[in-house]
Structure 1
Amino acid sequence: MDTRQWSSTIAAAQAGDRRALDELVAGWLPLVYNIVGRALNGHADVDDVVQETMLRAVDNLGSLRDPDSFRSWLVAIAMRQIRDRARRRSTETLDEAAAQATDFAELTVLRLQLEGQRREVAEAVRWLDDEDRQLLSLWWLEVAGELTRRELAAAVGVSRQHAAVRVQRMKERLETSRGIVRALDGACLDLRELTGRWNGRPDSVWRKRLARHIRGCGYCGDPRESVVPAERLLVGIALVPVPVGFTLSLALGGKTAAAATVASTSVGWSAKVVGALAKPAVALTAGVTVVAGGAYVVTRTPDAPPPRAAVITPGPATTSAPPPPPAAPPPSPASSSPSASPTTKTDLYGTVVDAVDRAPGPNAEPAPLPHRPESGVTSTGGAHATMNHRGDSVTLSGRGYVLVRWQISPQYRAGGLVMPAWTGLKGRLFHVASGGGRRMDDPVSTTDPSATGMGNAATGYAVLPAGTQQMWQNEYFYVDGSVTLTVNERGADYGLSVFPTTWDAVRRDVTTGPAQGARRYGLVRDTGGDDTPVPQYATRATPADPATVAQLSRV
């Protein structure tokens, strides 16, 4: 984003051009959102800090002498607001708000469709301390071509030489964090035992513990592919679009009021807040509310009667997105109107559930995976939620795909599996595919005829409940709304890792099979319609004990 291209717009806004000010706010909001969002890792305070930054920029625009320095000036304001927020916050407030936050690393992966080592870098950010994360928020944009080193140093308030030293130290800790992300995705039994007491939230204490383990572990410390330096991975990467539902309110007070509310119809920033106000922009008295998409604009004086909203349709968005999910789930056949025509096709959703299915042959290619609309799924557990104990849960919200990876360990504790439950469902939930190259219920001993036992005579067996479907190491689901997944471990030992993912990643896993040995394809369960199976243990209710959810519950 070249400031020189904005010089005329900045000058016009300073001179009182309302449209130029609207364009300036809309054009530079993504940069500020990325800096603040990454520095705070999506903490609930992001909205407030972004709003305060833009408010101060608009309020003080008249004091900017050189329009070419606008970007440096705006970034410096954002960093001051981030540091002020750090000084004001309390531990109690942080912990309470963090439970409601959206992990910015997760948004980065979902919005930019990052994969491989680029995804690894984004997830590693979660392991950095606040100070390193603030610096990384600027360095990430520097290597992406959005900031210069001079602007980075000015925003931090140090010389370019000192900035280089600080960036190098931060990069070293980032590489350590990348190693942790790789190790957690692996299958090291010693690491699993170590993380059995971990609550799943990255912090400096666990970063040091895991780093010590990796340094001394031949499995975790051996990267399975060449590690590319982070700066090479981030060159030219785009800004994370302002997410659907993000709200910006600029309340400048005074006699004239203008309010704009933007509909959540696209991912990314496409709206321009418009108004016909005659006063100079830097002296305007206005209130503006902005969200990603189109706009509703209301203008009135203090003595005017309540206004009628004029709807402004946004121009074509550069990034398309599916329509928002329905406000309520589709009616079940039981609730259909008795006066409906007997020939009318009823909605099958909720009437078809999984049952025991026959496993395909190892060389049988799966059916094509239908591509359902995706706008991204956020998780209260972040991009990689690890659940190892009874009662651990994660809430998933949005529209898109989710991977649930099983780790069953009868060597630690054998017995019957008490399956996890999906509760509090709002919207729809489908079980779309199974993969990972391995079926969890494959017989592992020729002397044991059981088709549902996992383990062996030496370690013990984990046994599925009667009537349970075939299980694979990776199970894929499609969420359109929100739902909570809870571990009901009692009996056999198991853990779940939950990742928001993408259609392309699901298709690749299901159709590729393992890299070595006999090919084993996955299984596509999605028919593309509402008759796609739903999970066996799912309910719209929120029971006190999720383990009580019936196996063949109907939703």
Structure 2
Amino acid sequence: MDSQHWRAVITAAQAGDRRALDELVAGWLPLVYNIVGRALNGHADVDDVVQETMLRAVDHLGSLRDPDSFRSWLVAIAVRQVRDRARRKTPDRLEEAAAADFAELTVLRLQLEGQRREVAEAARWLDDEDRHLLSLWWLEVAGELTRRELAAAVGITRQHAAVRVQRMKERLETSRGIVRALDGACPDLRETTGRWNGRPDSVWRKRLARHIRGCGYCGGTREAVVPAERLLVGLALVPLPAGFTLSLALGGKTAAAATSAGWSAKLLGALTKPAVAMTAGATIVAGGAYVVTQPPDAPPPRAAVSPTATATSLPPRAPAPPAATPKTSPSTTEKAAREKTGPYGTVVDAVDRAPDPNARPAALPRRPESGVTSTGGPKAVMQHRGDHVTLTGRGYVLVRWQISPGSRPGALVMPSWTGLKGRLFHVASGGSRRMDDPLPGAPNGYATGMGGPAIGYAVLSPGTQQMWQNEYFYLDGTVTLTQNERGCDYGLIVFPTNRDAVVEDIDQGPPQGAIRYGLVRDTGTDRAPVPQYLTRGAPADPATVPQRSRV
């Protein structure tokens, strides 16, 4: 049901409409059940925690000032109730068996098979904290929550949430390997598990993981392992169990009937009078503006691209009036410096022709290096719209593309660089192939990194520079890279790196069996090309950064 409908239902419930309150509780009960059920893995306390969550939501509905934030507010209540339950654990309840294993319920009710079943069963091997986070991340990937709501529910920033989710996913993948190995026929593994009681826990997870890492049989992948997030996209909520109805969740009564038997005096008050004075209008919070100057009147200098590729430039555009935003307007000092040194960088804003596979790259100029730090750590994986990392320091950064048109083809919304302080250049491309190159061994040469007729295509925006598997950048300052995935399914992996690694990658050409050598774009000057979709500002939606921005 759309947000406009729920906004009306929530407003009516706050005003005392009993039917609206009934609909509100019934409509959101499955979401709460899935969060609590997966977080507690079907423990006997699931019913109580779900009930308490819904009661608190009804009791405090009047405190909700913005109906549009109801979902994130409700999810936060559910997470708090799960945490409170953990704090209330007594020794005699620590070992209590689950009333109904939620992993098994997920498999049975959603009829999961293959690797989807494997992911559900792997959840049993996670610690409580990871399982709590999984309960939210699962719903995020399934399209029921946003990353912002996930972070708010856990009470951390989105950057911290990205780190926490990545660590949880790594342990989930380890657990998937354990599930896969236990289904196998490794005699050494049978011997290892001879003393295991069959109950997943962290000690046995580490013990079995060590065995798998050192075992050729268990460690060998007999089929392509699909990332968990690809398997969970669009997956439905686990249906409520038989008998787990709205009447059970509200202590045996619907909201409209709750006035009898003294069930909840607070609920009665919520039903019989307006809960909160609503404001007359909505408040729209505008994001930070950004300032982008126009491209130079002359075409980019030929030196901006090495002789291994041919680049074309779009015709110059008429200058636009400067944006009146003092926050991001250049200072007098910056203007003077720009007039003295000329324009900073040249945006790579035109489709180029693929260089000859045997053409060796030009020499990569040397730039000062002291290292780059990333808020996502040494390997930040960004696979969802809105994921981002902030990079700081002086040195090189690798952005590796992983495009999956077979999972979801369509228009590719390019990532963007925002909030630049200092300098950022696009210095080289590598990875042995461009995304429009055929994949090795592909039938009829169709299955390229951008797709093919059998699986669908990833379509670039008009004028987008064709990316390579590995794109290298040089940073001297700080900047934020945001994943704007929306149409086509793709991920970015961001690694701080160094010049030696860049040179080694781009020099891996046809003699070593790769498709082609890499490409150098760095001129060694401040006129070296800068990335597309780059701004010194902080737009509310990073996906709106102009392609031919100049900074």
- Tell me the TM-score normalized by structure 1: 0.46
Higher RCO, 1 or 2 (CA under 8 Å, sep at least 6)?
2
- Structure with greater helix percent: 2
Larger Rg: 2
